[in-house]
Amino acid sequence: MELVAGCYEQVLFGFAARPSESWTAVPDFTHHAHSASLSAVAVNNRYVVTGSRDETIQIYDMKKKIEHGALLQHNGTITCLEFYGTAHLLSGAEDGLICIWNTKRWECLKSIRAHKGHVTSLSIHPSGKLALSVGTDKTLRTWNLVEGRSAFIKNLKQNAHIIKWSPDGERYVTVITNKVDIYKLETASITGTITTEKRISSLRFITDSILAIAGDDEMIRFYSCDSQKCLCEFKAHENRIKDIYSFEREGQHVIVTASSDGYIKMWNVDLNKIKDVPSLLCEVNTKARLTCLAVWLDQASETKENSDTAATSSQANEDEKSSIVRKKVCWTDNVDKIEKRKRKITPEKQKLEAPLQKKKKKRNSSA
């Protein structure tokens, strides 16, 4: 298991997390991933991808611990990245495009002009047949991934900056500044609203009906989507919280938080005692201004991701038969494909730097 986090200082951190009687997170690698601050990170069972203000997407093979290459399709800051299973990646950026990538050959299957302004967030339905996106054109858009076209456009009163599907795909939420609107899939109508005092920077479904919400303060709050009531709140950091991630391992629910104070923390959430403050499992100080966070779970360790959009290990075998692949012709534009290949670069593969490598070199030279 690897905690991966990006920061303003252009570095991707990797910390190996080891479950035991007392959890530990030890430095595994640091990589100067981009020429500008990191803005997004996503994981599947093999790769970690990062997006940046330098307009590129970097790919890392976590099993081989090497830099795998870079994708150059967007013009503008990469704002959101999301895998669907092992076969596809969706990316959104300030250029208003959503790109669909085949992760076997790392080629762009489709580039969609999604929003008139920036794409601020996207989320893939657990079935892989639908995706939602929001942008600075004050719209929420539904995408039919089977046919590769827009299915529905909803006008919003303000710009939303986060959108998320629930793990069961029965509802989704949008975030506008400090307000969370909860939608039911069947009716596409708002069933409730959660309002916080501070701007919301991140949220994550812990279960199908419980949200973990963080924002421009030091607090984490758990809310019920059904009653919209706060179930629990606790101080998690000394500065604003930038990102939350969650996963399940052997029945244990864990949330991971990253803050501008430089700390990454892991918390144990007891769903049977959801009103109790989660217990701190471990923490690590990166000494950097963190911006984004994810947890890479090695399938060999029999872990199960509890992200709202991730495919489970049982779905992995079905990826090649997914609806996206069956309708592959809809995703491929032969005229544009040659140009897109030109814009994809794969530099020489480099190993990710262990944090102590540089110090060892200095010692050897001085000796």
Tens digits of residue pLDDT in 40-51: 999 999 999 999
% residues pLDDT > 70 (the chain): 81
The helix (run of H) or strand (run of E) holding residue 7 is: strand 2-7
Looking at the structure of the chain, the number of domains it has is: 1
The helix (run of H) or strand (run of E) holding residue 323 is: helix 323-326
What's residue 39's pLDDT? 96
What's residue 82's pLDDT? 96
- Alpha carbon distance 246, 188 (integer Å): 26
What's residue 313's pLDDT? 36
pLDDT bracket for residue 353 (50, 70, 90):
low
Lowest mean pLDDT among 79-93, 227-241, 302-316, 329-343: 329-343
Question: Which domain covers residue 249, as residue numbers?
Answer: 201-300
Q: Are 81 and 41 in contact (CB under 8 A)?
A: yes
What's residue 168's pLDDT? 94
pLDDT tens, 294-308?
999 876 444 344 444
Displacement of CA 305 from its chain's centroid (Å): 12
Task: Please name the amino acid found at residue 12.
Answer: L
Tell me whether residue 295 is in a domain: yes
Mean pLDDT, range 24-28, rounded to an integer: 92
Q: Are 268 and 283 in contact (CB under 8 A)?
A: no
What's residue 352's pLDDT? 64
The whole-chain average pLDDT of the chain stands at 84
pLDDT of 96 strictly over 60 = yes
What's residue 338's pLDDT? 33
To which residue do tokens 């994981």 refer? 43
pLDDT of 21 strictly over 90 = no
Displacement of CA 306 from its chain's centroid (Å): 12
What's residue 147's pLDDT? 82
What's residue 356's pLDDT? 44
pLDDT bracket for residue 349 (50, 70, 90):
low
pLDDT of 327 strictly over 90 = no
Find residue 140's DSSP bridge partners: 134, 154
Tell me whether residue 209 is in a domain: yes
pLDDT of 185 strictly over 60 = yes
Cα–Cα distances (Å) from 143 to 20, 90, 100, 119, in that order, read: 42, 12, 12, 13
What's residue 267's pLDDT? 95
pLDDT of 100 strictly over 80 = yes
Work out the number of other CB atoms within 10 angstroms of the CB of residue 34: 23
What's residue 348's pLDDT? 44
Tell me whether residue 122 is in a domain: no
pLDDT of 335 strictly over 70 = no
Tell me whether residue 173 is in a domain: no
Tell me whether residue 213 is in a domain: yes
Mean pLDDT, range 2-23, rounded to an integer: 90
The CATH code of the domain that includes 234 is 2.40.10.480
What's residue 85's pLDDT? 86
- Alpha carbon distance 3, 297 (integer Å): 9
pLDDT of 312 strictly over 60 = no
pLDDT of 36 strictly over 70 = yes
Mean pLDDT, range 288-317, rounded to an integer: 62
What's residue 341's pLDDT? 38
Tell me whether residue 247 is in a domain: yes
pLDDT of 134 strictly over 50 = yes
Tell me whether residue 159 is in a domain: no
Mean pLDDT, range 231-236, rounded to an integer: 95
| CA count, 13 A, side-chain hemisphere, 314 | 2
Residue of 71, 100, 69, 73 whose CA lies nearest to 87: 100
Mean pLDDT, range 356-364, rounded to an integer: 46
pTM for the complete prediction?
0.82
Lowest mean pLDDT among 165-169, 290-294, 329-333: 329-333
Tell me whether residue 362 is in a domain: no
